[in-house]
Amino acid sequence: MKNVLFCIAIVKVVFTQEMDFSGVNQFWIIQEKLTNQRTVSEAEWQRLLMSPGYLALDKKERKGPILRRAIELAYSPDLGSELRQALDKGGFLAYSMRHLQRVPKLRDQLEQFRSELSKPGFLNQSFDKLKLLIPAELIAKYPPCPIAFVFFAPDGRGYPQIIVADLLNVMNSISQSGFFAHEYFHFYRSRLGQIKDVDFDPVDESLMYALIRIEEEGIADQLDKTEIPGITEAEIKSLVTDESKAEFYLSYRQFYKDSETWLRRINSDLEKMADEPDSAKGIADQLNKDLPIGGRPVGAFMARQIIERLGIASLRSCIGDTFKFFELFNQSNPESFSKKSITLLEQLQKKYHK
């Protein structure tokens, strides 16, 4: 079963699409000015924040102001005390700043990697992987969206109209082709979604977001993280020189191993929500907060179980259909969710499935 993903025929096509580096170019201008304690004009900030990648992060997640502050604190020598306070406080600002602090010393490597990215056919391997899950006809129908490169965090975003890729994060990924396959999965999944495009009832919102994220990220992780659970700490550290990226992979590996514990927690919380409707929102809010790495590792475990016990075709059939994903996982592992939990999921399905 380990090699089941590779049993699907692949059609060779050279994939080309727009790669935008305007955010990276403007980032270097601002980083150099801040480091040398020179004034950055408002026009220069706007050129950065209005570049396609940073603009998408702001439109989708309201990240513009916090990223501007992260860049200011990361590179301004006279803001050292504020930097330390922000790092101590934690949250996304600290997460971003720690990443940004690593960028300047790797500029030569990043520029060389950028040149590699620009070569024709660089994404062919990514789309070969993607076709293991996404139908070739869907890829043919919707040409690949643009990729906008930025520096913001050790992460990426696959939005419906654009992929936002942190250049350092991609360079440090164990699988660079897998990274783009993962992000393009999100692009194509948005065209397969079976959840109604409506605002969820407040009582259901946290739970629905958690369930969707488990399905979406868990399946996407089959394209770039399948080797992580099975390799050693020493192997991870030999493959990834960036300390924060290695720490992420090590955490991911451990949380994946803990998946059965988290599945028991999810089942228990679903039962409590069914028994105590007035407390359901609070229970779901806490679950959403507690799920490690947003539920990615447990979702990846569920997706892998579906592949190994029901076959890759079964996993492909539930892409974008969160409720079917949970249904198929329960078929592959019948003791995971109780009748009470399944009934609650069925009630949500009636409300939100297309």
Strand order in the sheet with 19-20: 19-20, 147-150, 163-166, 156-158
Residue pLDDT, tens place only, 202-239: 999 999 999 999 999 999 999 999 999 999 999 999 99
The tens digit of pLDDT for each residue in 14-66 reads 455 689 999 999 999 999 999 999 999 999 999 999 999 999 999 999 999 99
Task: Please state the φ and ψ torsions of residue 69, each to the nearest 5 degrees.
Answer: -65, -40
Stretch 112-122: mean pLDDT, rounded? 91
Q: Are 99 and 170 in contact (CB under 8 A)?
A: no
Per residue in 137-165, pLDDT (tens digit) is 999 999 999 999 999 999 999 999 999 99
> What are the phi and psi torsion angles at 275 (to 5°)?
-80, -30
Q: What is the pLDDT of residue 17?
A: 65
Global pTM reads 0.89
pLDDT of residue 5: 41
| Separation between Cα atoms, residue 351 and residue 328, nearest integer Å | 20
Spatial CA neighbour of 110 closest among 25, 2, 1, 48: 25
156, 228 Cβ separation under 8 angstroms: no
64 Cβ partners below 8 Å, 6+ apart?
49, 54, 55, 57, 58
The pLDDT of residue 14: 46
